[in-house]
Amino acid sequence: MTHVSRLTVSTCLLAIGVLIASSACASTAQSRHHAASPPASGPSVKITGVVKDASNGLLIQAATASYGDQTATSNANGVFTLNLPTGTPVTVTIQHPAFQTLQQSVTAQSGARFDFALTGLPSVTVKTKTNETHILDIGTAQFAFLIQFSGYNRSDKANFCKEDGSDFTPDKTEFSRIIGPATPANAAACCQFPGVMSANVEMKSGAKLLVYFKDSCPGYEVDFLGREKSTGLYQYFNFTNITEIDFP
């Protein structure tokens, strides 16, 4: 009869136990791995979005809609399209320089159409020599000069010169008021040519200055422009026709 030592039996039992434990751990790890895996994304469908001004219902052109790595721009009717996962709430972001950024949750279904109402930013008031008052969005309001056969060069910063000849380029948010209309002047410290346009400005800092439009030195037309709140259309105003601009 073959003799089997207790040590050998114990060793075998230990090895079997380790094998069983290892199999159990592997099974548990595999189960956990599957539980942590994200669910497969469903099919996507094309949805239609309509961007509007929350204050008056006007359709908004050139708003940017985005989801993930997709972007779309609203057309003249305020309409854009995006492809979104079906039946899953997702967040669509809408941006436009005249409005506060909007993030809205939508659940896409085939043929779905969603409205996105944007809240406007503060306004700039432009008054003209013809006694007209225009309300522009601060986000789209800009200083500009017209280059013939080329178009407008626009900026959020003014391109002025002070009486001592130093440059003065404040951002539009730094102004309290610009008082016009702009008139031609001689300012050798700012422009070698006669007839550079000038106007008075009041800053939020309290400073009141006579300034010269450097862009008018080479003969360019100097304007102020922006999107009018009541129509949603861009307006262009020559500084020679502006009596006052009031900033928020």
Q: For strand 242-246 and strand 123-128, is the pairing parallel, antiparallel, or unpaired?
A: antiparallel
CATH of 44-118, one of 3.40.50.720, 2.120.10.30, 2.60.40.1120, 3.40.1830.10: 2.60.40.1120
What three-state secondary structure class fits 1? Answer: coil
**pLDDT tens digits, one per residue of 75-84:** 999 999 999 9
Distances (CA, A) of 26 to 20, 21, 31, 33: 10, 9, 9, 10
What ranges in the chain are assigned the alpha helix state H?
A: 6-36
Domain-wise residue ranges, the chain: 44-118, 123-246
**pLDDT tens digits, one per residue of 67-112:** 999 999 999 999 999 999 999 999 999 999 999 999 999 999 999 9
Distances (CA, A) of 123 to 42, 99, 136, 229, 240: 44, 11, 5, 8, 22
Burial of 54 (0-12, 13-18, 19+ CB in 10 A): middle
Q: How far is CA 140 from the centre of its chain?
A: 11
pLDDT at 27 exceeding the cut of 90: no
Task: Write down the pTM of the prediction.
Answer: 0.73
Residues linked to residue 42 through DSSP beta bridges, in sequence order = none
pLDDT at 182 exceeding the cut of 50: yes
